[in-house]
Amino acid sequence: MASGVMIVAEHRDGKIRKISLELLGVGKKLAGNLGGGLTAVLIGKGIEGLAADLGKFGAEKVYVIDNDLFASYSPDGFAAAVAAAAKQADPALILLGSSAQGKDLAPRAAAKIGTGLSSDCVDVMVDGGKVVCKRPVYSGKCFAKTVAVSSPAMASIRPNVFPAADAVNAAGAVVKVDPGVTALLSKVSEVKAAGSGGVDLTEAERIVSGGRGIKAKENFKILEDLASVIGAAVGASRAAVDAGYIDVSNQVGQTGKVVNPTIYMAFGISGAIQHLAGMRTSKVIVAINKDPEAPIFQKADYGIVADLFAVAPLMTEEFKKLLAE
Ligand SMILES: Cc1cc2nc3c(=O)[nH]c(=O)nc-3n(C[C@H](O)[C@H](O)[C@H](O)COP(=O)(O)OP(=O)(O)OC[C@H]3O[C@@H](n4cnc5c(N)ncnc54)[C@H](O)[C@@H]3O)c2cc1C
């Protein structure tokens, strides 16, 4: 009988991604309620060494699919690999990140396994033996609860919602899996780093974001300066993107990225519903806007009614001083 939790790990540049440690954290809490242990599946080429890192953070068993074909992400190949690992592990729940890769992989893997999926969840619990997920709907204005009726249950989890798993002094057992994939239908041929100051927007702990109020492409430099001092990623509203001030990969919102940082600073952003859809779950929101009636202030924890061109450089200087102490 299916039991326990299996997480689908992600890695980049030879390192396990933060979202995978968050999945191990939430997975550990749920595994016992689902009558089993915590396992992980790791897919790639030359990645066996990373299995130990997953063990260190609580994976009791790591199903490794190490294959030349999986040197880069392949939608059909990775879906087949997850399905093969799931067949072997027989988990009651499979967790993936609601990351760029996870958003693509989760529905494909669910279809391959023949089960349902709750996507972009902000909570997962076990109630009466059933997996219940909470997910934002209507641009985050309310939450829906979904109850898994097929097995295994599957959910993708929004990054930065759960704390990362604590390190445990253990080594996970490594189990090699052969998914029987000999050719791929599609694969990623090139990955270009997004222009968000080297920090992935969806995983960023801190985001400095600019809107139409920035007024020109070169003015984003003042936000980039602030971001580099506090180790933040740079985000933007769609108006700033449409005006050509910044690349679309930086866009936050309904048609951009969904972010969930500890702190989100919005400079010259009015707070349209479509922008809020991408950042309203941020833990602390700071709005800087010269219009005291701007809707963003209704959502902000801290508001500064002022000219952003005066405030941003001041903040940069003050943070520099504070961090130097
Ligand atoms: C289907 C659909 C999807 C969309 N998806 C997205 C999305 O994903 N993300 C998104 O952001 N938008 C999205 N939008 C657009 C959204 O409706 C808004 O138009 C957009 O968010 C507005 O961006 P903004 O706040 O930067 O610009 P504005 O609404 O023009 O606000 C600019 C703000 O800057 C302030 N300001 C100006 N100068 C200064 C200054 N010197 N100092 C301080 N403050 C100043 C102004 O007071 C104003 O509040 C979408 C719209 C549609 C219809």
Distance 216 CA to ligand 1 centre (A): 14
* Nearest residue to 72 via CA among 124, 12, 131, 26: 12
Query: Ligand 1 pocket check: which of 249, 289, 308 to mutate, most ligand atoms within 8 Å of Cβ?
Result: 289
Task: Please state, in angstroms and rounded to a whole number, the distance separating the CA atoms of residues 320 and 315.
Answer: 8
* Dihedral angle computed from the Cα positions of residues 246, 265, 18 and 192, in that order, rounded to the nearest 10 degrees: 10
Pick the residue whose CA is nearest to atom 8 on ligand 1.
253
pLDDT of 304 > 70? The answer is yes
Whole-model pTM?
0.85
Distance 268 CA to ligand 1 centre (A): 8
Q: DSSP label at 11?
A: E
Pick the residue whose CA is nearest to atom 7 on ligand 1.
253
pLDDT for residue 171? 84
Helix, strand, or coil (residue 233): strand
> Do 256 and 278 contact (CB within 8 A), yes or no?
yes
Q: Greater confidence, 88 or 195?
A: 88
Distance 227 CA to ligand 1 centre (A): 20
pLDDT for residue 194? 61
Question: Ligand 1: residues whose CB is within 6 Å?
Answer: 211-213, 237-240, 251-256, 268-270, 272, 274-275, 278, 288-291, 294, 307-309
pLDDT for residue 8? 98
pLDDT for residue 158? 93
Question: Which band of pLDDT confidence, cut at 50, 70 and 90, is reported for residue 156?
Answer: very high
**Stretch 18-37: mean pLDDT, rounded?**
96
23-37, 182-196, 256-270: range with lowest mean pLDDT: 182-196
Pick the residue whose CA is nearest to atom 2 on ligand 1.
274
**Stretch 24-50: mean pLDDT, rounded?**
95
pLDDT for residue 195? 54
pLDDT of 233 > 90? The answer is yes
Distance 172 CA to ligand 1 centre (A): 48
pLDDT for residue 198? 61
Query: Ligand 1 pocket check: which of 208, 241, 251, 274 to mutate, most ligand atoms within 8 Å of Cβ?
Result: 274
Distance 212 CA to ligand 1 centre (A): 6
Pick the residue whose CA is nearest to atom 4 on ligand 1.
274
Pick the residue whose CA is nearest to atom 27 on ligand 1.
212
**Stretch 81-89: mean pLDDT, rounded?**
97
pLDDT for residue 169? 77
Structure tokens at 246: 């910044």
**Stretch 211-226: mean pLDDT, rounded?**
97
Task: Please state, in angstroms and rounded to a whole number, the distance separating the CA atoms of residues 90 and 79.
Answer: 16
Distance 119 CA to ligand 1 centre (A): 27
pLDDT of 10 > 90? The answer is yes
pLDDT of 42 > 70? The answer is yes
88-144 residue pLDDT tens: 999 999 999 999 899 999 999 999 999 999 999 999 999 999 999 999 998 788 999
Q: Greater confidence, 192 or 271?
A: 271
pLDDT for residue 160? 87
Question: Looking at ligand 1, which atom is closest to the CA of residue 309?
Answer: 41
